[in-house]
Structure 1
Amino acid sequence: MDAPMRTLRPLGLGEQISQRLRIDIISGAIPDGTHLAEDNIAARFDVSRGPVRDALRQLESEGLVENRRKRLFVSFLGLPDIEELYSLRENLESMALRLAVERASAKGWDAVQRLVDTMAVAADAGDHERFDEADMEFHTSFYRLSGHRRLAEAWRPYQRTFEVLLEMSNTPDMHAAVVDHQEFLDIVRTGDADAAVRRLHNHLLKAKRHIRDVIERQADLDESVPVDVS
Structure 2
Amino acid sequence: MTDSIPYLYPEKWLNKASAGERVASELRIRIIAGLIESGSKLSENQMATEFSVSRSPVREALKLLASENLIRLERMGAVVLELSEKEIQEIYDVRLLIETFVFERLVKMDTAELVKELSKTLEMMKIAIKYKDADDFSYEDVLFHETIIRFIDHSHIFMIWKNLKPTLESLILISMRMRFKEKYDDFDRIINNHELYIEAIRQKDRDLMVESLHKNFDDVQGSVEDLWRSQQIYSKGVESDD
Counterpart amino acid of 1:178?
I
Sort the Cα spacing of 1:85 and 1:98 in 2 relative to 1 into closer, same or farther, 3 A: same
Structure 2 unmatched runs, 5+? 222-242
2:121 match: 115
Letter in 2 for 1:145: F
- Per the alignment, in what secondary structure is the counterpart of residue 77 of structure 1? coil
Question: Match for 2:204: what amino acid?
Answer: G
Tell whether 2:212 aligns with 1:199. yes
Distance 1:12 1:143 in 2: 25
Mark the CA change 1:107 to 1:207 in structure 2 (over 3 Å): closer, same or farther.
same
Q: CA 1:207–1:27 in 2, change beyond 3 Å: closer, same or farther?
A: farther
C-alpha change, 1:137 and 1:75, in structure 2 (3 Å) is: same
Is the 8 Å Cα contact of residues 44 and 77 (structure 2) preserved in structure 1? no
Aligned counterparts, 1:61-72, within 5 A: 61-67=67-73, 72=78
What is the alpha-carbon distance in structure 1 between the residues aligned to residue 191 and residue 215 of structure 2? 15
What is aligned with 2:130? 124
Q: Residues 49 and 129 from structure 1, CA distance in 2 versus in 1: closer, same or farther, beyond 3 angstroms?
A: same
SS at structure 2 position matched to 1:47:
coil
User: What is the Cα-based RMSD across aligned positions, in Å?
Assistant: 2.9
Tell me how far apart the structure 1 counterparts of residues 17 and 199 of structure 2 sit (CA, whole Å): 40
1:3 to 2, 5, 16: 5
TM-score by length of 1: 0.78
Map 1:13-92 → 2, pairs under 5 A: 13-67=19-73, 72-92=78-98
- In the alignment of these two chains, the number of paired residues is 208
Cα distance in 1, alignment partners of residues 93 and 156 from structure 2: 19
- Matching of residues 95-110 of structure 1 within 5 Å: 95-110=101-116
Distance 1:22 1:109 in 2: 33
Partner residue in 2 for 1:188:
201
Normalising by the residue count of structure 2, what TM-score does the alignment of the two structures yield?
0.75
- Measure how far apart 1:184 and its partner are: 2.2
Q: In structure 2, do the counterparts of structure 1 residues 68 and 134 end up closer, same or farther at CA, with 3 Å as the change threshold?
A: same
Match of residue 177, structure 1, among 190, 194, 200: 190
Matched-pair contact (CA < 8 Å) for 1:18–1:58: yes
Tell me the amino acid that sits aligned with residue 61 of structure 1. Answer: S
Q: Report sequence identity in percent.
A: 29
C-alpha distance in structure 2 between counterparts of 1:194 and 1:105, whole Å: 17
Higher RCO, 1 vs 2 (CA within 8 Å, ≥6 residues apart): 1
- Whichever of the two has the greater Rg, that structure is 2
The runs of 4+ residues in structure 1 deviating greater than 4 Å are 6-11, 68-71
- Encode CA deviations 1:120-170: one digit per residue, 9 max, x unaligned: 122222222221111111111121012211100111022121121111112
CA contact (8 A) 1:28 1:78 kept: no
- Offset at residue 31 of structure 1 (A): 1.9
Residue in structure 2 matching 1:153, options 159, 164, 168? 159
Partner of 1:222: none
Q: Which shows bigger deviation, 34-43 or 126-135?
A: 34-43
